Structures are given as C-alpha cells and as structure tokens.
Structure 1
Amino acid sequence: MLNAWHLPVAPFVKQHNDKLTITLWLSGENPPSRVTLRSEFDNEEISLAMRKQRRQPQPGVTAWRATLNIALGQPRRRYSFKLLWHDRQLWFTPQGFSRFPPARLEQFAVDVPDSGPQWVADQIFLSDLPGSFCPQPVS
C-alpha cells in the first residue's frame, strides 16, 4: 500500500525569494518511478518533474521536490501531484489518491505572496468568551 503526506504549509511548502519549493513524502510498497507537480501559470497547465531526494525525512519515507517560480502570475497557486509507473498513473490531492485528474477546486492551494506571518500556520488560537467557563445564573 502506498502512503502520501503533503500539506500546503511548512515543511512541505517553503518560500525563498521568488521560488516556492514544494515537497511530497511517499512511503510503502511499489513506489512510483516518476512524480510530476501539476500547476498552472496564467490559467495554462504546467507540469514540472519532481526530483527524488537522497535524504529521507523519516525512516522508510521518500521525499520528492520541485520548485515553482512565483515572480509572476496570480497569488493563489493551485497544484496536485501526478505519480507515474511504467503501466499506470495516480493523482494525489487533498482528497487522497485518484485515477483521474482533479478539478481545479480539488487541488492543493497556497497564497503566495502572502502578507501573513509564517508562524501563524503552526499556532493554535483560543477564544475565551465571558461566561463560557463560568455560566451566570439566570435572574
């Protein structure tokens, strides 16, 4: 069984200047021989070959990486992964694996350039509302 991990936040997505590096983690039996990153530039599909990394992020996990140029184009970047074997292909999206290409809104999305700070994705925000923890008696 093949397993895949990707979220549109660090460590899977990293921005450096005008480059966006996107990483996919794979593990399991019968891994693909090639992986491509399917994205769009000005509403035209582009397919970038991903490079298999020598260093494993975790034991038994293989990382595949590609870099997008984000100097031009719209800030919302949508993308998905196409996994290729010699006799078949699979797509990986937030919904999981599929034999068919995903619809536009079913792909991963990240907004770059983004004006929000990088650390926000790793934080948990709690809201303390008066009366939430100390109910007031009804008068």
Structure 2
Amino acid sequence: MKAWLLSLFLLLAATTACAQAVGDPAPLRFGNPAEEQRFHALVTELRCVMCQNQSLADSNAQIAHDLRREILTLMRQGRSDAEIRDYLVARYGEFVLYKPRIEATTWLLWFGPALLLLAGGVFVARVVRRHGGGGAVPIDDTQEW
C-alpha cells in the first residue's frame, strides 16, 4: 500500500514539475490600427469561458489565446462584430457576453434587482405606515438630557 502511495506521489510531483505557464507562442499581428482597435474593443466585452471572471483581453488561459486568434480570423474574413458575437454565443452560450442581451431568458437578470428593490420599498412603506402612524411621543419633563 505504501509503495502505491509513493508511486502516485512521485507521478504527481513529476507532472507538476513539468508544468509550464501557458504563453502565447506568437503575438497577434494587426494589419492596421483600426483593426487592432476593433479587435481590442471586441475582446474586452467578451468573457473568457474558462476563467469566468476575466475578459478575453485579460485572460492568460490557453482557450483565451485560441479565441483571440479565432476572433482575429473571423474579423479578417469580413464578419461584423455582431456576427462574431453571435458565433461565440452559439458556441459557448450567453455567458460569453459581459452584457447579456435582453431576452426572455435574461429578463430576470436585467430587471430582477430593480424589482427586488421596488418590492423592498413597498414592504418598508407598509411597515412604517402600520407602526409609525400611532401618534406623537409624549413629552416627559422629568427626564434630564
């Protein structure tokens, strides 16, 4: 049993020793400043599907590198920004967008906080009306303040 655990430990140690940080092997080259600006605008509004809290522009995950290359390829094929977003949404779902579209499935996401705040305001108003309208507090001249 001990030999099995030792071999498992050595195997895990060997794989972590060989692990390297993911690096972009070849940086992206842009044809002109307009293409670069459009590219950066797109990748900052799209979410990395692996990191989940970073944009494609900020992520160093390998899939983010691949998606950046794919976006540049799609741009060079003549696709519009909307077509590129639609392509990524079809592939990864609405999650890939930092600002999801207002649809039946995202209605609660967009308007839920406002409805919750409104319901809380109505609740507080009812409680104040029910308990606060009892009259004025009597003045007590015997108290020293």
Same fold (TM over 0.5): no
Larger proportion of strand: 1
- Bucket of the pairwise TM-score, normalised by the shorter protein: under 0.3
Higher Rg = 2
TM-score by length of 1: 0.25
Which structure features the higher share of helix residues?
Answer: 2
